[in-house]
A and B are shown apart, each in its own frame.
Chain A
Amino acid sequence: MKTHKFFILSTFTIIFLVGITGCKKYLNEPPENRTFTEETDYTKTENMVQPLIGVYQKLNRVDEGWSDFPLISVRGDDVNAGGLGDQQDFANTDLYSYNKDYWMYNALWQDYYSYIITANSAMEQVALYKQYASNKALADQYIAEAKVLKGFWMFQLSRVWGSLPVPPNSDPTELFNVPLSTKNEIMTMVSTWMDEAIPSLPAVRPNERGDLPGGVTRYTALAIKALANLELKQYQTVADVTGEIINSGRFILEPDFYQLFKIKGKLNSENLLEMQYSDLGQGTGDNYYYLFGFFGPQGWTPKVAGAGDGWGFWEPSLKYIKFMLDRGEKTRLETSVLFTDRGILELRKDHPDLPSWISHTTPSGDIINDFAREMFVSGKHYLPSDQLTPGRTNYGTNKNFTVIRYAEILLMYAEALTQGASGAAGSADQAVNEVRARAGMPALSGVTNAQVMDEKFAELAMEWGTRFFDMVRLGDVNALSYDGRTFTMEKTFLPYPQFQVDQLPILRTK
């Protein structure tokens, strides 16, 4: 009897205890009062390209971010800050006197890191689409493209600051937990990223891409790998990688050097990477533009009346101009430099026999008037007023911003070979002479490393601080100490922006 009752009660007990486990299903109930449709539908793989276009949008930044390129590139004996009195800390940076509180430092940091975060985010987003994508190779290609651009930005940041944290994913707060990587580590990392990306990328010229014209290709990745390895002085790798680009036979130097930096240079077959802008061929309406006004002369007399002038920054250095005059350069000098009368007077002081083609009128017929901020104006950032789409007046609008071009590949190849590497794409002479020929310069034979570096100076001045970073790499402080300024190797890196130091304790350990 007793055991009977015990049995019944126990059964009850078990029913209760087991019955409650049926409630477990409620643990999967979603939260109340929210919209569930706001989430991205990753099965719509036709949208897979959108996150990648978001990354290109960062590359082709409009308006904002105009100070990034100048800060990266202002140091070196090819160019002066210009601006006279405006943005004194920018001018001081050019004089190797750095101010960690200066807004441009923080702006470059924030811009490029946020681009990198965007690239990481795009890679994560595309990966989410990939699981539903029928063309998984395309997903891999998009991820690779974002990775290449991320590598480019990380490369630029590390050249400026040296040791840095590398964001592991799209969450910016992760930066709190990331240790600093040294510049060498970062360059190695960038090189590895390129290796990871290359197999997924199309082996075409950027302007051959039908889907995303001017987008990243295998050769863009190779070029960035070469740049990173050049920083690492891994000359053999540089020779191998640039050799691969040369041997592809896909790239040619634009015969008209002057027009390479004008409308004709847009999606030119010489370009491996460029920031693209467009006024859509219309005189009014949407306009995607780079703020070239920063580089432009103040108070000019354009051939096409009404074309806007610039802010008067980015002055080619006297040292560069004299160097070019002494070499007897014409094509590259008249492309790279626009002269004012005041500048011409200054040149005449020690070059009394200045060539007659040097004039305040540009080859396109715009007149550069004297203005206080500069004696010379950057020609590579100049778009003749007669190339503006009628109706558009902003200085340089509709012009693209060249980032990496084939001439630099050829010269890196030559540099690597003259540093002792062996190459499979011809001799250093061949590479250098190809570049010289286009500039109307006589061929050389048995080029030395010094000659290659001079050639790079002549060819790539005012572009991306190439000259500065070359001289730093070679430890040539004399080249960088000019016009009264003195460079020492400890001036290589900018100080971390104070705003970032306040936020990220890891930056304080340096």
Chain B
Amino acid sequence: MKNYLPRKQASSWLKSMFLLLLTIACSAAFGQERSISGSISDRSTNESLPGASVLIKGTTIGVTTDIDGKFTLKVPAGDNTLVVTYVGYEKTEVSIGAQSVFNIQLNPSKTSLQEVVVVGYGSTKVKDLTSSIVTMKSDEINKTPSSQPLQALQGKVAGVQVVSAGGPGDSPTIRIRGVGSFPGRGAESPLYVVDGMFYDNIDFLNPSDIASMSVLKDASASAIYGVRAANGVVLIETKSGNYNQKSEITYNGYFGYQIAQNVLKMANSQQFTTMAMESGSEADKSYILNAMQRYGRSTVDPNIPSPNTDWYAEILRPAMITNHSLSFAGGNDKARYSIGGDYFLQDGIMKMENKYERFNLRTKVDFKATKWLTVGGNFIFSNALKYNNQGSAWSNAYYAVPIMPVYDPSNTLATPTDYSNAQDLGYRSGQNPFPTMDNNIDRVKIKKLLANFFLEFNLIPKTLTFKTTYNYSFQSIDQRVINLPWFIGNSFQNPDATITRYFTNYNDYIWDNVLTFTKSFKNHNLTVMAGTSFKDEGFTFLTAQGKNFPTDMEQSWYISQAVNIPAEAVSDNGGAQYGMSYFGRIAYNFKEKYLLYATMRADGSNKYQQKWGYFPTIGVGWVITEEKFLKNNNVIPFFKIRASWGQLGNDNIQASDGAYTTSVVTTTLGGVIYGGTVVSNSYSELKWELTQETDVGFTARFLNNRLSADFDYYNRETKNAAIPVSIPLVGGSVLKPVGVIRNSGIEVALNWSDKTANEKLSYSVGGNFSTLKNQAIDLYGQPYIDGGTAEFRQRTYVGEPLMAFYGYKVAGVYQNQGEIDADPIAIANSLVPGDLKYVDQNNDGKINDDDRIILGSYFPSFTYGADVNFKFFNFDFSLSVYGQTGNKILNRKRGEVIWTSDGNMDADLAVNRWHGDGTSDKYPSSSGLRRGWNQKMSDFFVEDGSFFRIQNIQLGYTINSSKWLGGNFPQTRIYLTAERPLTLFKYNGFTPEVANGWDNQTYPVAAVYTIGLNLKF
């Protein structure tokens, strides 16, 4: 096919264009019919596009570009528009006006195989990939109104699980192809590479700063990042200008509100009173009486107290969200630039000082200083202010009783606010969430700076280049936690004003040197890259605390104003980690038919005893449609089979664990005391985890490129996972690099796009899904590893998911005395009707620890997403959905009952409790909830976490404005967005998005409704 013609060298092309421009520009404007000329090139690579079609709109006048991508054309009088089309690129229209020379750059179309994707230390065309990479462009990213660009990945990329974080400014949890490192040690997050700099999180970037995000899913793609690659890699390119691009000023802004969704319905006063009366607890009954005495009786039902507080309604509020970004981009033949700034503000939905505000500035300039040298620089400065929420309020509001009002004017001793106190009614705790919400102020000032500078030498034009890049990142996180004093009751108060400050600085730099050789010899296309990298990562940390400082003015909130500065609260820490790496890549293809791709990275680090690790990968591809028997057919225009294997490292693992402890001992020999030492050794040397990944898949286009399909099977196995190994004889556990963890599954992505012949309507429909099987394969001979807590056990068995919930299976509820009498288990345990009936797994006629089973994992086994896009005249519409199944959530809020049985509960539990024969086979009775038998870890507490959600709906209207204000009216688009307007799930909580499966203080994820404006000058 024509579009795969090899590119011709066009060294003096730009220079000639300048001359053309100078000579033609002044003379062209006069004649009736005039001649225009220009060139067509690829926007991302600047390569000229020979054979592109250039047509005058509504006519048959047109030409195709020559071998250098140039054209000349006679244009009739009047308003004309050029229409440029080229296979694999977006159709582009340019108004001719009085202009005579056109340097038109085409964007590769979204599903195009011509599209160039960034890979580590270089880029390559989609069709030459042997690996699984999914790229998301800025248009898509900006559809999601969020401070966090990663939120936009949710449901869009098969194999990537995004667990939203509700708190303003909080980062979502990202899992790429499962979890290969034992959870709970902060070693599971992917690597983010922002313009060459390594990050653990990219919360500082505004979505509008980003040009593209590429998820490198398999080893073939990510192994070039060696010891950092095992959890997957996300490459982020910030926006840059284009050479020979007209200056473009873009404004994009939106404003909207967040509304809490699926607010958990709690038992109301009537339901709560009923539960208390049935509890069998005299104390609980008396508290109801106390409430009636203190707050009066309900006018509807005199047997219930008058207050009917919905605590979640009280602590929630609709919250504002807004973003404004302004960007300037352009370029000539020597330089290109992109300068921008954005401001983001989001209030939290918790009714307290809870918000996130961020101001970003960025500049990126590339300059072709000489023919052989390009220099460039890039700055992003991010300045954020974050007020964290009071997490405990989410669980306090759950068990705060509804029979208590928020305020209690009779509580005259209360200060500064007369909040109510559940202890006044007899309850164990004060319950009211407001005192801490009002008086705990957790402020974080986050400043992050990213700077890159590079020099690129063209040693042999278009063949051999050398690039040296210095990437620098500075992060300052200044946190101040204030607890102001308050008094509600004698044992519900905070007597001391405390201030705690945490200062953390990160200073990282990476110096990369990369030599790239690209050459085609007849049918052989070869790219060879070799590079070195040096990395220096350091941090400092300091914390201190002060007690009892003057609280009236915020200006006094300093540790030095405090009466008491406890020495034990001062802590100073720091770290320095150095890395030295050598890496290389060979990408070869024969006639673009047989593909070979291999990379190797050697990473050295001072972190571990073992200094060097080696991370190879190899991938192969076969483009069947390049074979004679399939070539040039429109049913299957493209079909590529690919397979890859590689090894990846994870150096988020600590350097060692355990210790040599020397204890001094004495004994007597011959009646004399001798001193000796006993060295006990639990010391364990750790190293990076090594993950081995195999990926087999295909990429295909069908039916004239209208249908695209991607399929992958992956199997990633962490060979020496750091797992806790219990210490026989001594007790406790120590991390050892001896576990094997496997994640495997398939990923499928399909997309259909088409348009009507008149192009008034274009649309696309896409869908993706992925499966995940997470398994512990080897636990070093241990039968299992315990996690969670003794009350809420999570256990890892060989062959089962990591940290699966573990407990009893509920068979039902004992309905009547007859059922009790007939069951020896019920008799042996003195059960009564309304108690849970557990499954006797081993049929030994007893319920004991041996009857516990795996109740499920918090990792979803199936995730899916779909989206629909329409363009109809000037309207555009998009809708995306997301869902997951197979994961479980521990309803830890309900679990609180095992410690404090007198609190409130959700309405579902209150209404559907057992309260007589046949009333419920699911929940125990009110009194049963208070008995140990029913408080065992069981699937009463572990619930299905599946959900389906309408992720995003956007409706936009583009004002056709090219003729207004003499053509000076900006291109304008107005849009409405509904983010997460509907989520469907069965789980009895606020949100099924709970990163670690423990739902206690999870910040609920709100729906967001915004109106936005997009202007382009």
A contact set with B: CB distance below 8 Å? 5-6, 9-10, 12-13, 16-17, 20-21, 23-24, 26-33, 40, 47, 49-58, 60, 109-110, 113-114, 117-118, 121-122, 124-125, 170-173, 175-177, 207, 212-215, 266-267, 276-278, 280-281, 286, 288, 500, 502-506
Q: If the complex has contacts A16-B466, A31-B575, A50-B676, are A278 and B671 also in contact, measured as CB distance less than 8 A? A: yes
Measured CB to CB, the closest approach of chain A to B541, in angstroms, equals: 9
Across the interface, do B669 and A212 meet the contact criterion of CB distance under 8 Å? yes
A502–B785 Cα distance when bound, in Å, is 12
For the complex with contacts A40-B679, A177-B780, 15 further pairs of A-B residues with Cβ separation under 8 Å are A6-B459, A13-B466, A13-B513, A16-B466, A20-B533, A23-B511, A24-B604, A33-B573, A33-B575, A51-B676, A57-B666, A110-B729, A172-B682, A175-B729, A212-B669
Q: What are 7 inter-chain pairs, A to B, with CB distance below 8 A?
A: A17-B532, A170-B679, A171-B684, A173-B780, A207-B670, A212-B669, A505-B781
Q: Which of B377-385, B423-431, B720-728 sits within the interface?
A: B720-728
A122–B677 Cα distance when bound, in Å, is 9
CB < 8 Å neighbour of B668 from A30, A58, A60, A109? A60
A13–B466 Cα distance when bound, in Å, is 7
Measured CB to CB, the closest approach of chain A to B719, in angstroms, equals: 16
Give chain A's interface secondary structure class: helix
A33–B576 Cα distance when bound, in Å, is 10
CB < 8 Å neighbour of B578 from A20, A23, A51, A124? A23
On chain B, the residues within 8 Å of A13 by CB distance are: 457, 459, 466, 513, 515
Across the interface, do B372 and A173 meet the contact criterion of CB distance under 8 Å? no
A210–B127 Cα distance when bound, in Å, is 83
Across the interface, do A21 and B671 meet the contact criterion of CB distance under 8 Å? no
Across the interface, do A53 and B676 meet the contact criterion of CB distance under 8 Å? yes
Across the interface, do B730 and A27 meet the contact criterion of CB distance under 8 Å? no
On chain B, the residues within 8 Å of A5 by CB distance are: 372
Q: If the complex has contacts A6-B460, A27-B611, A278-B668, are A56 and B674 also in contact, measured as CB distance less than 8 A? A: yes
Across the interface, do B729 and A114 meet the contact criterion of CB distance under 8 Å? yes
A177–B781 Cα distance when bound, in Å, is 7
Q: If the complex has contacts A16-B513, A51-B677, A505-B781, are A57 and B667 also in contact, measured as CB distance less than 8 A? A: yes
Interface string of B702-740 (1 = CB under 8 A from A): 000000000000000000000001111110001010000
Return the chain A residue nearest B783 by Cβ: A505
A199–B677 Cα distance when bound, in Å, is 25
Across the interface, do A9 and B372 meet the contact criterion of CB distance under 8 Å? yes
On chain B, the residues within 8 Å of A47 by CB distance are: 677
Measured CB to CB, the closest approach of chain B to A445, in angstroms, equals: 40
On chain B, the residues within 8 Å of A109 by CB distance are: 729
Across the interface, do B734 and A173 meet the contact criterion of CB distance under 8 Å? yes
Return the chain B residue nearest A12 by Cβ: B457
Across the interface, do B727 and A49 meet the contact criterion of CB distance under 8 Å? no
Across the interface, do B728 and A173 meet the contact criterion of CB distance under 8 Å? yes
Give chain B's interface secondary structure class: strand
On chain A, the residues within 8 Å of B679 by CB distance are: 40, 51, 54, 121-122, 124-125, 170
Asked whether any CB of chain A lies closer than 8 Å to the CB of B673, the reply is yes
Across the interface, do A276 and B668 meet the contact criterion of CB distance under 8 Å? yes
CB < 8 Å neighbour of B675 from A17, A53, A170, A286? A53
Measured CB to CB, the closest approach of chain A to B664, in angstroms, equals: 8
CB < 8 Å neighbour of B606 from A26, A51, A60, A171? A26
Q: If the complex has contacts A9-B459, A56-B669, A505-B781, are A31 and B655 also in contact, measured as CB distance less than 8 A? A: yes
In this complex, which of A26, A122, A286, A502 has the most chain B Cβ atoms within 10 angstroms of its Cβ? A26
Interface string of B405-434 (1 = CB under 8 A from A): 000000000000000000000000000000
Return the chain B residue nearest A47 by Cβ: B677
A47–B675 Cα distance when bound, in Å, is 10
Measured CB to CB, the closest approach of chain B to A173, in angstroms, equals: 5
On chain A, the residues within 8 Å of B303 by CB distance are: none
A148–B547 Cα distance when bound, in Å, is 59
Asked whether any CB of chain A lies closer than 8 Å to the CB of B565, the reply is no
A176–B724 Cα distance when bound, in Å, is 13
A286–B783 Cα distance when bound, in Å, is 45
Q: If the complex has contacts A54-B665, A170-B679, A176-B725, are A24 and B580 also in contact, measured as CB distance less than 8 A? A: yes
Measured CB to CB, the closest approach of chain A to B12, in angstroms, equals: 15
Across the interface, do B671 and A280 meet the contact criterion of CB distance under 8 Å? yes
Asked whether any CB of chain A lies closer than 8 Å to the CB of B681, the reply is yes
A5–B862 Cα distance when bound, in Å, is 58
On chain A, the residues within 8 Å of B511 by CB distance are: 20, 23
Asked whether any CB of chain A lies closer than 8 Å to the CB of B764, the reply is no
Q: If the complex has contacts A24-B580, A27-B578, A505-B783, are A176 and B728 also in contact, measured as CB distance less than 8 A? A: yes
Across the interface, do B675 and A27 meet the contact criterion of CB distance under 8 Å? no
On chain A, the residues within 8 Å of B474 by CB distance are: none
On chain B, the residues within 8 Å of A26 by CB distance are: 536, 578, 580, 606
On chain A, the residues within 8 Å of B533 by CB distance are: 20
On chain B, the residues within 8 Å of A53 by CB distance are: 665, 667, 669, 674-677
CB < 8 Å neighbour of A113 from B513, B575, B604, B729? B729
CB < 8 Å neighbour of A9 from B466, B572, B606, B780? B466
Measured CB to CB, the closest approach of chain A to B371, in angstroms, equals: 9
Across the interface, do A20 and B575 meet the contact criterion of CB distance under 8 Å? no
A121–B726 Cα distance when bound, in Å, is 19
Across the interface, do A27 and B729 meet the contact criterion of CB distance under 8 Å? no
Across the interface, do A40 and B662 meet the contact criterion of CB distance under 8 Å? yes
Q: If the complex has contacts A54-B665, A278-B671, are A173 and B606 also in contact, measured as CB distance less than 8 A? A: no
Across the interface, do B676 and A52 meet the contact criterion of CB distance under 8 Å? yes
Across the interface, do B668 and A121 meet the contact criterion of CB distance under 8 Å? no
Asked whether any CB of chain A lies closer than 8 Å to the CB of B920, the reply is no
Interface string of B280-309 (1 = CB under 8 A from A): 000000000000000000000000000000
On chain B, the residues within 8 Å of A12 by CB distance are: 457, 466
Asked whether any CB of chain A lies closer than 8 Å to the CB of B574, the reply is yes
Asked whether any CB of chain A lies closer than 8 Å to the CB of B634, the reply is no
Across the interface, do A171 and B681 meet the contact criterion of CB distance under 8 Å? yes
Across the interface, do B459 and A10 meet the contact criterion of CB distance under 8 Å? yes
Q: If the complex has contacts A20-B534, A276-B667, A506-B781, are A172 and B730 also in contact, measured as CB distance less than 8 A? A: yes
On chain B, the residues within 8 Å of A57 by CB distance are: 665-667, 676, 678
Q: If the complex has contacts A6-B460, A28-B606, A176-B728, are A16 and B671 also in contact, measured as CB distance less than 8 A? A: no
Q: If the complex has contacts A13-B457, A16-B513, are A23 and B580 also in contact, measured as CB distance less than 8 A? A: yes
On chain A, the residues within 8 Å of B64 by CB distance are: none
Across the interface, do B580 and A212 meet the contact criterion of CB distance under 8 Å? no
A57–B606 Cα distance when bound, in Å, is 39
On chain B, the residues within 8 Å of A24 by CB distance are: 580, 604
Q: If the complex has contacts A16-B513, A212-B669, A267-B670, are A172 and B534 also in contact, measured as CB distance less than 8 A? A: no
Asked whether any CB of chain A lies closer than 8 Å to the CB of B605, the reply is yes
Across the interface, do B677 and A54 meet the contact criterion of CB distance under 8 Å? yes
Asked whether any CB of chain A lies closer than 8 Å to the CB of B680, the reply is yes
Return the chain A residue nearest B725 by Cβ: A173
Across the interface, do B680 and A176 meet the contact criterion of CB distance under 8 Å? no
A474–B683 Cα distance when bound, in Å, is 45
A32–B533 Cα distance when bound, in Å, is 23
In this complex, which of B682, B728, B782 has the most chain A Cβ atoms within 10 angstroms of its Cβ? B728
Asked whether any CB of chain A lies closer than 8 Å to the CB of B869, the reply is no
Across the interface, do B468 and A16 meet the contact criterion of CB distance under 8 Å? yes
In this complex, which of A24, A31, A212 has the most chain B Cβ atoms within 10 angstroms of its Cβ? A31
Across the interface, do A212 and B578 meet the contact criterion of CB distance under 8 Å? no
Measured CB to CB, the closest approach of chain A to B770, in angstroms, equals: 34
A114–B674 Cα distance when bound, in Å, is 21
A266–B668 Cα distance when bound, in Å, is 12
In this complex, which of A57, A118, A215 has the most chain B Cβ atoms within 10 angstroms of its Cβ? A57
Measured CB to CB, the closest approach of chain A to B372, in angstroms, equals: 6
Q: If the complex has contacts A20-B513, A31-B655, are A176 and B781 also in contact, measured as CB distance less than 8 A? A: yes
On chain A, the residues within 8 Å of B669 by CB distance are: 53, 56, 60, 212-215, 276
Q: If the complex has contacts A9-B372, A57-B666, A57-B676, are A175 and B459 also in contact, measured as CB distance less than 8 A? A: no
Across the interface, do B783 and A502 meet the contact criterion of CB distance under 8 Å? yes
Across the interface, do B671 and A281 meet the contact criterion of CB distance under 8 Å? yes
Q: If the complex has contacts A173-B727, A267-B670, are A118 and B781 also in contact, measured as CB distance less than 8 A? A: no
A494–B727 Cα distance when bound, in Å, is 23
A267–B671 Cα distance when bound, in Å, is 10
